[in-house]
Chain A
Amino acid sequence: MKFKDYYEALGVERTATLADIKKAYRKLAHKYHPDVSADPDSEAKFKDVAEAYATLKNPEKREAYDNLGKHPAGESFTPPPDWQQHFHTGEAGLDDVDLADLFSAFGRGGGGGGHRRQSFPVPGQDYEIAAPVTLEQIHRADQIELSAELPEYDANGLAHRVPRTFQITIPKSAANGQRLRLAGKGGPGFNGGRPGDLYVSLVLQPHPLYRPDGRDLYLDLPLAPWEAVLGASVHVPTLAGTVELNVKPGTTAGQKLRLAKRGLASADGSVGALYAVVRIEVPKTVSAREHELLEQLAAASNFNPRTHFA
């Protein structure tokens, strides 16, 4: 079993009072709580803080934790022999048990002997896993496979992490952050409590071409200056394949050319649009012939894009 330094996680001394521990937890929770912090690493940090607080705020659990002694964080250690007797682990031991799961078992009846107190139904824990998805996968309503290590509890209430695989079909109307609730697929309940749920959260991956806004997609459409002035027929990639788009003469930079029903589908069956946002690109180097023609154009043209400056 790996040792975790709960005092270090909360940034308090081992002699800290309950009030000190609570104060430290609140401060760190404000900083790292995943519903409040924008830092993507905050969830893991908050998990450590919450785990430490859950043990140290409970005098009985704190005493048991203190009896483990002080070890460097992450170091493998063997709990005292009476722990294995308390948890009736026999020869299985506690090697593959997470320290947090062990202390959770204290509160809900695990461990037998003096620790078996609660008899009311305790619902199972909910879990959430992130599923990275691409726009193409959403458009095709792909089936994806997800793996997660979820706890299964032995007869003594101790959690053992077991790899599980789920196959889910992404709906065409899926959006970034949307969740799938798999009822009863989370942690098991205790004393007749219902099992927890598993939530799959879709995380839309950035696309090299398309930028989604709701059900609409935006795409940069680079045009050569002469294409913008003279008009052109250009090929534009969409999620459903390439389409031909007529660019009218006199098209300006920033103009949005709308391709109806080339965006993402909604749950009600409607489909968003694809907007091609015009960018006028100029060649960084030109040939002598091109230079000559541009010089002629400059001399012949009376176009002044800065008339409003005067």
Chain B
Amino acid sequence: MSTPLSESVWLNDVDVCQVEYLAEVSGLSIEEIEDLIDTDVIKPVDAGTPTRMFQLRYVVTVKTARRLRDDFELDRRGLALALSLLQRIDELQAEIHATKARLGHPR
């Protein structure tokens, strides 16, 4: 489902949007977002379809990218690298969280 700009929406991994929407809400250029796609920071739902769609949760990713670009004056390569590393940290933190949940409360 494509998401119009005027709506209030939950940024989840089910609803999707086009690359133009990600550019609009983040203020990044299409070229900058293409860099993030090329480096797998952002992945289309089905890369094989003519119109690429992206999970709405990537709005958070592109907004983070915009903040990092502006606050650290990062160039396009630096931005993609920083986001890849942040994504790895997020994945590791999620693994730690999941492990702690399975292990139980320490007594």
Question: Residue on B with the closest CB to A53?
Answer: B71
Whether a CB of chain A sits under 8 angstroms from the CB of B76 is: no
Cβ-defined contact, A178 with B10, below 8 A: yes
Whether a CB of chain B sits under 8 angstroms from the CB of A161 is: no
The B-contacting residues of A in range 21-43, CB under 8 angstroms, are 26, 29-30, 33, 35-36
Whether a CB of chain A sits under 8 angstroms from the CB of B9 is: yes
Whether a CB of chain B sits under 8 angstroms from the CB of A150 is: no
The B-contacting residues of A in range 267-304, CB under 8 angstroms, are 267-268, 275, 277, 279
Partner of A178, one of B11, B64, B71, B107: B11
Q: How near does chain A come to B84, taking the closest CB pair, in angstroms?
A: 13
Cβ-defined contact, A214 with B98, below 8 A: yes
Cβ-defined contact, B102 with A218, below 8 A: yes
Question: Which size bracket describes the interface of A in this complex?
Answer: 35 or more
Q: How near does chain A come to B76, taking the closest CB pair, in angstroms?
A: 17
In Å, the complex CA distance between A279 and B71 comes to: 48
Cβ-defined contact, A26 with B72, below 8 A: yes
Cβ-defined contact, A267 with B101, below 8 A: no
A-B contacts, 9 listed (Cβ < 8 Å): A26-B72, A36-B86, A126-B63, A178-B10, A179-B11, A182-B8, A211-B100, A213-B102, A277-B104
Question: Residue on B with the closest CB to A35?
Answer: B64
Cβ-defined contact, B14 with A35, below 8 A: no
Neighbouring B residues of A220 by C-beta, 8 Å: 104-105
Partner of B71, one of A29, A123, A213: A29
In Å, the complex CA distance between A164 and B15 comes to: 28
The B-contacting residues of A in range 237-287, CB under 8 angstroms, are 256, 267-268, 275, 277, 279
Q: How near does chain B come to A232, taking the closest CB pair, in angstroms?
A: 19
Cβ-defined contact, B101 with A180, below 8 A: no
Whether a CB of chain A sits under 8 angstroms from the CB of B59 is: yes
In Å, the complex CA distance between A26 and B60 comes to: 23
Q: How near does chain A come to B61, taking the closest CB pair, in angstroms?
A: 11
Whether a CB of chain B sits under 8 angstroms from the CB of A107 is: no
Neighbouring B residues of A35 by C-beta, 8 Å: 64, 67-68, 86
Cβ-defined contact, B67 with A268, below 8 A: no
In Å, the complex CA distance between A277 and B100 comes to: 12
Cβ-defined contact, A197 with B104, below 8 A: no
Q: Knowing that A29-B71, A178-B12, A256-B102 are A-B contacts, what are 13 other residue pairs whose CB atoms are under 8 Å apart, sorted by A's residue number? A: A33-B68, A179-B10, A180-B10, A181-B25, A181-B59, A199-B63, A211-B104, A212-B101, A213-B101, A220-B105, A267-B14, A275-B102, A277-B102
Q: How near does chain B come to A124, taking the closest CB pair, in angstroms?
A: 12
Whether a CB of chain B sits under 8 angstroms from the CB of A171 is: yes
